Chain A
């Protein structure tokens, strides 16, 4: 099924001091469908942020794309010139960052920063029109007193308010895809809920790609889920499928680690070990050392991708029952 944004066997890595490329993301394939929200889930160091930076083509200097394509509306983003990429950023694909405290330029006013994006992508607008639209946008993301707030500086806003400003900035051009890289991690829980509400409200216009390690947020607003581990997609499918039938041992581990109110647990379940650094990746399944069901060939051979149902893919050597349409 072709999507609005598609990763096809995308691989990238980092150049080390000896000039070798250490693979980080390996054969990543998934799609973001038009109008749907995709949650990308995994622990820290799984390559979630590299996924978003790859789309934006904002990878660090020592990153090397090893193969594959990232298609957006049928064009390969990796083949675009710097100029065409700048056209797409902010207009068709926009991004919200994790740290609202450092994502705004401290010496430029809020109004200017939001307006700059608009001016960049719609140069025909007059100054007055831009100001009007920015104030309208500020009102839409729930910033009280937007006329006054327009000329204020970031330090006069709280964390939650800054994240709203970031959302206003990212959505002012009505992007087709909004990427949110752990947008609520730095916020406290009540503000989290408000920001999530706001994002699902704004999502109506386009697709949303949500990077998170909080499965609760995924249930809240996502339609599809991609579970990543150590730079590979281990399981992907619709939210209902994955939540009802988590299959890959890693996904099951993630779900088991969620604290519940219904069971009385003395100690929370944890997946033993931690995500390996990219220099220590195994040739086979990268999760094998932490997997309770690992077999011998798991360590040496890359697991195959198997379809459990039309909307559920898993990459694992274990045998699973096939199901029909979930």
Chain B
């Protein structure tokens, strides 16, 4: 008889998933522990354009501020933004997808139509306009990103729900008197959790990218450090084309953005692979 591994055991045997998890946890921890790790970078420092050294692990910028501290505080706001964006997107997107996929009829049509309308909206220009109107604050930015990310989440949830709700085990569950709510949020949701979770991690990653983009365009919150803000300041100071080039200034936030996105993708794929009990054997 085949012994089945629990989700946890299977997850920790998946090397990529663990690597992704470690990366995500590290970034989250640095964000949460930012006030302990480094002082909030503000004002002016005395040593401009310092190469990475013991005092400045990632160098210093044109105002003499420690880039390491900026990156740490940046991961705090980046993590906050992606969490907020995912919360907004999943609070709207997942129930919308589940309901429209399960109760076809007019309510499904209405939700599906709304999703279609939202999907045709040009995301970036709209984000810029909303961010400009709502004013620069990282919470606003996060909400805007979430509001524009839910339709794709709803679409994925709906498609998966449509497929699962036609399965005989759903009919069997109904024939045993299980009510629609339990069927929807337990029987169906657990079956579609794989693609949905993967999509959520993608939303986390794109939220950080979008925030960086908005900050880079100057629509972020100038009083809060985020990876995008650091890049924006580096760009404004001409750090990208300067000679001698202060490469540490623009390279570190870019690397962190990449790392964050990659880690979340690996985590998402790992969760997807281990969520199916069938994949837990080898």
B-binding residues in A (CB < 8 A)? 56, 58, 61, 86-91, 94-95, 97, 99, 102-108, 116-117, 120-121, 145, 148, 151-153, 155-156, 166, 169-170
Contacts and interface: CB of A to CB of B under 8 A. Distances in A.
Top 6 closest A-B pairs, CB basis?
A90-B177, A90-B176, A89-B177, A95-B175, A153-B277, A102-B168
B54 interface: no
B278 A90 contact: no
Contacts of A107: 190-191, 193, 275-277
Nearest to B2: A156
A104 B4 contact: no
B179 interface: yes
A121 B169 contact: no
B177 A103 contact: no
A104 B172 contact: yes
A117 B177 contact: yes
Contacts of B125: none
25 contacts: A56-B174, A56-B175, A58-B175, A89-B174, A95-B172, A95-B176, A97-B175, A102-B167, A102-B168, A102-B169, A103-B168, A104-B169, A105-B173, A106-B276, A106-B278, A107-B193, A108-B186, A116-B176, A117-B177, A117-B178, A120-B182, A148-B1, A151-B4, A152-B4, A166-B172
A151 B177 CA distance: 22
> What is the predominant secondary structure among interface residues of chain B facing chain A?
helix
Given A61-B104, A107-B275, A156-B2, A86 B171 contact: no
Contacts of B172: 95, 97, 103-104, 166, 169
B187 interface: yes
Given A61-B104, A97-B172, A104-B172, A121 B191 contact: no
Contacts of A86: 177-179
A290 to B, nearest CB: 31
Contacts of B43: none
Nearest to A87: B177
Contact of A117 (B167, B169, B171, B176): B176
A63 to B, nearest CB: 14
Interface residues of B, number: 27
Interface of B: 1-2, 4, 104-105, 167-169, 171-179, 182, 186-187, 190-191, 193, 275-278
B156 to A, nearest CB: 17
Given A117-B176, A117-B177, A169-B176, A106 B168 contact: no
Given A97-B172, A106-B278, A116 B178 contact: yes
Contacts of A170: 176
Given A58-B171, A99-B168, A155-B278, A105 B177 contact: no
A61 B4 contact: no
Contacts of A95: 172, 175-176
Which of B104, B172, B186 is the most central at the interface, judged by chain A CB atoms within 10 Å of its CB? B172
Contact of A105 (B104, B169, B179): B169
Contacts of B2: 156
A107 B192 CA distance: 10
Contacts of B278: 106, 153, 155
B183 to A, nearest CB: 10
A169 B177 CA distance: 11
Contact of A108 (B4, B175, B187, B275): B187
A97 B177 contact: no
Given A104-B169, A106-B276, A153-B4, 13 more contacts: A58-B174, A61-B104, A89-B174, A90-B178, A97-B171, A103-B172, A105-B173, A117-B178, A120-B182, A145-B1, A156-B1, A166-B172, A169-B172
B167 to A, nearest CB: 6
A99 B170 CA distance: 13
Contacts of A153: 4, 277-278
A117 B172 CA distance: 11
Nearest to B194: A107
A173 B177 CA distance: 11
Contacts of A156: 1-2, 4
A94 B191 contact: no
Contacts of A94: 175-176
A61 B187 CA distance: 20
A50 to B, nearest CB: 14
Contacts of B169: 102-106
A90 B172 CA distance: 10
A89 B179 CA distance: 10
B192 to A, nearest CB: 10
Contacts of A148: 1
Contacts of B275: 107
B176 to A, nearest CB: 4
A106 B173 CA distance: 13
B4 A89 contact: no
A121 B173 CA distance: 13
A89 B176 contact: yes
Nearest to B174: A58
